């Protein structure tokens, strides 16, 4: 719970500081989504996968690769919280697959 709170707090600070910086830059004519929107989507995926794993481990804790899955879950959570969401998501998805669970996000 403390890790999840720390992750959410860290991401909120990151997003708020990025949004303040983006406000001071001139608007461009491109249609690309703002980096903060992409970052938020990735952070949401991280959070959803972490929650899914935390629920799945209670019922699939005796899976053959449960220990490896727990390590991947920890590594994925750390990567997500250090602004490396793409790598974190891959680790979290593999952790769920190791438990025999299909990742939802």
Task: Name the stretches of the chain with pLDDT < 70.
Answer: 1-6, 8-35
Q: Does residue 10 belong to any structural domain of this protein?
A: yes
User: What pLDDT does 76 receive?
Assistant: 96
Q: Rounded CA gap, 24 and 70, in Å? A: 42
User: What pLDDT does 50 receive?
Assistant: 96
Question: What count of residues does the chain have?
Answer: 105
Q: Which residues form the domain of 55? A: 2-22+35-99
Q: Does residue 53 belong to any structural domain of this protein?
A: yes
DSSP 8-state assignment for residue 41? H
CA angle 90, 92, 93 (to 5 degrees): 65
Locus of tokens 């707090």: 9
pTM for this prediction: 0.65
Question: What's the total number of domains in the chain?
Answer: 1
């Amino acid at each position: 719970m403390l890790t999840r709170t720390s992750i959410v707090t860290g991401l909120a600070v990151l997003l708020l500081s990025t949004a303040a910086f983006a406000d001071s830059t001139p608007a461009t004519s491109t249609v690309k989504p703002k980096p903060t929107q992409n970052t938020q989507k990735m952070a949401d995926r991280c959070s959803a996968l972490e929650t899914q794993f935390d629920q799945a481990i209670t019922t699939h804790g005796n899976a053959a690769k449960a220990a490896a899955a727990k390590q991947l879950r920890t590594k994925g959570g750390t990567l997500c919280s250090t602004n490396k969401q793409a790598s974190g998501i891959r680790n979290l998805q593999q952790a769920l697959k190791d438990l025999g669970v299909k990742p939802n996000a």
